[in-house]
Each structure stands twice: as structure tokens, then as C-alpha cells.
Amino acid sequence: MISLEIFGAWLAVLLTLCILSFLYDDNPFYKAAEHLYIGMSAGYALVMAFWQGVRPNLFGRLWPQIPTDENSSLFQTIWYSIYDFFNLITTGFGIFDRSIFPEGGIPEYDEIKLIYLIPFILGIFMLLRLVPKVGWLARWAIAYIVGMAAGLRFYRYLTSDILAQIQASAVDFSLDWVGVINGLILFIGTLTGLVYFFFSSEHKGSIGTLSKIGIYFLMIKFGASFGYAVMGRISLLIGRIDELKQFSTSEYHYATPILSIFIIICLAIWTFAGKGVSREHSVS
């Protein structure tokens, strides 16, 4: 009997090798793994957004777990009957176990906050984008998100990214000559880099010269970014190969070598037999 752990290891190795097979060519293994990844990622994101975001922060505020007895108000009774109705739908009218809407309300908060009906309604409007006739209602929800992000970021970018950085660009002349030169390099690089991005004037004459110096600093920056990008990607590749190495031992029934040979054989068959046929079909 194969344990779930061994099965999981073989699955992980198979999927890793399917993605890596793209290095040979765009093949069915890769396409299959890619589509599986797309679908599962979407599902994962939806599940996490619900359990981590919507359920505690929205439903938990609208229907918190508060004691209900004979003294509960009429409003509370009607309100929680809506909750029970939602539960009825999500359990398939009793077919499935109670999951999303537990008995008596959602634990975490202790007070009903009806103001959270506003994001609930805006959220529903967002989903109505799927219905062409009323899809325009999503604009209201998008407007809230865009407005909030704009207001939030305006102040923070101004303080941390602009004012603080301009302040930091000032040269400290009290340092030794090496420090002063380095400070001047930082100042000139920052200023000329900014001049390069100033497109309201033509880059001619002195602005052209400053802009050109700015490009040089930016090129050095992009070269460094490239170097770090290579470093990062290689690190991730090392991580994957290390895991494949881990799964090539007898503990995991030599998953890596066996599956590697399997994929290579399949790709060879696909190359010499199937690929020629499929290319003709795709052309016609």
C-alpha cells in the first residue's frame, strides 16, 4: 500500500519534470501541467480569499456568534434567518456538512456591524461583471478600490519614496574625501537619472548631456538588477534540483530517475512520431 507521502512525492517530481520538459520544446506534458497549475492557482486563490478574508472580515461582522435566546430582538431573529438561508444554499439544502456558516454565527467578533453591508453590496456588484447586462455595476466597486489605493499611496510615496530619498541625496561634506566623492556620485547619479526621465524638454545641449550621464547610471543599475535576477533564479533552480535530489533516494522509491526516464522516452516518441503529425494538423 503506497502511503500518501510517497504518492505526493511522486506527483511533485512528475509535475516538476513536466514543467522542466518545456526546455526541450512546448510539449503536451508541459501544456497539461501548465493548465493544471492555472486552474488550481485560481481555485487556491479563491479558497484563501474566502476563508482568510471574506468569511472572518465580512460574514464575521455581519453575523457574529452571539448568544440567541427568547430575549433576542425581532431584528436579530430575522437577520439570522437570512444567515440560515445562506447556510441552506451552501450545504446544498442539507446534503453537505455545515462548513461556511457554522451554527449560531461566525466566531471572532461579538457585535453586528451593519455598515459592512456596504462592502458586501459592492462585492456582489463586482461579481455581476460576469453578467453582461449589469456588468457596469462593477465600476462602483472598482471605483472604491481605485480611490482608496490612490489616497493611501499618495501620502506614503510622498513621504518615504520622494521626500526621504531627496533628503538622503544631499552630500555630507563633513566626511573624509572618499565619503564626499561617493556622496557626490550618489547626488549626481540621482539628479542626472531624474533628468533623463524629464520629457517636457528636448534632450539637447546641457539637458542632453545630463540626460546621457543619467542613462549611464541607469545602465549600471540595470546591469546590477540583471545580475541579481540571475542570482535569484539560479537560487530557485538550486532549490528545485535539491528537492529532486531528495526524492531520488530509495526512501521515495527512486522517483526522480524513474520518472525522468519515463518523460524522456515519451518525449522521444512524441518527437519522432506524434510531433510531425500534430504540426501538419495545426498548419491545416
Partner 1 sequence: MNRIKNILVSLGSLDRRVIFIIVGLSVLIPLLKPDWVSLPIKNKAHSQRVFDELNLLEPNSKVLLSFDYGPSTMPEIHPMAIALLRHMFAKNIKVYGIALWDTGNFMSTDAFSQVSKEFEIAYDKDYVNLGYKPGGEAVIQGLTSDFRTKYKSDLSGNNIDHLLLMKNVNNLEDFDFVISLSAGDPGSKQWVQFGTDPSNIPFTTGCTSIQVTDIIPYVENNQILGILEGMPGAAEYESLVETELHTMGVSLTPGKASSMMSAQSIAHIVIVLFIIFGNISYFSRRREDRNNS
Partner 2 sequence: MLLKRHIPLLIVIVVGLITLFGHFIAHEGVNNFVKNVSTEWFDIIASFAIFLGALNMMKLHIKKIFNKRRNWQYSILAVFGFSFAIFAGFLYRGAYYLSISDVNAGKTSIVSNIIAEEINESNPLIIQHKLISSKNDYKIDKIYITKESSILLKDKLDPFVENIKIKSIDWGSHVQTEGSLFYWMFFQILNPLSATMFALLAFFVASASYRAFRIRNFEATLLLVSGIILMLGRVPIGDLIPWWMVSIMIVFGIGAISAPFLNERKTLFGIVGGGILAFIVFGILMGWNQNPPELLSIPSIQSWIFDYPTAAGSRALMIGIGLGVIGTSFRIILGIERSFLGE
For residues 201 and 190, what is the distance between their CA atoms, to the nearest angstrom? 18
Which residues are within 8 A (CB) of 61 and not within 5 positions of it... i.e. 6 or more apart? 109, 112, 113, 116
Quick one: which of 192, 211, 248, 256 contacts partner 2 (CB under 8 A)? 192
Nearer Cβ to partner 1 (135/232): 232
Length of the chain equals: 284
Q: Which of 7, 13, 5 is nearest to 33 (CA)?
A: 13
Binding mask 222-251 for partner 2 (x = CB under 8 A): xxx-xxxxxx-xx-xx-xx--x--------
Q: What is the DSSP letter of 152?
A: H
Minimum CB separation of residue 207 from partner 2 in Å reads: 15
Nearer Cβ to partner 2 (77/99): 99
Q: Which of 99, 100, 106 is nearest to 62 (CA)?
A: 106
- Does residue 187 touch partner 1 according to CB under 8 A? no
- Does residue 178 touch partner 1 according to CB under 8 A? no
Q: Which secondary-structure segment (H or E) carries 122?
A: helix 117-127
In 245-273, which positions are buried (b, 16+ CB within 10 angstroms) versus exposed (e)? eebbeeebeebbeebbeebeeebeebeee
Minimum CB separation of residue 240 from partner 1 in Å reads: 8
Quick one: which of 71, 235, 250, 284 contacts partner 1 (CB under 8 A)? 235
Answer whether 105's CB lies under 8 Å from 56's CB: no
- Does residue 26 touch partner 2 according to CB under 8 A? no
Quick one: which of 239, 254, 257, 271 contacts partner 1 (CB under 8 A)? 239
- Does residue 152 touch partner 1 according to CB under 8 A? yes
Quick one: which of 82, 89, 114, 124 contacts partner 2 (CB under 8 A)? 124
**Which residues are at the interface with partner 1 (CB under 8 A)?**
23-24, 48-49, 52-53, 57, 108-109, 152, 156-157, 159-161, 164-165, 167-168, 186, 221, 224-225, 228-232, 234-239, 241-242, 245
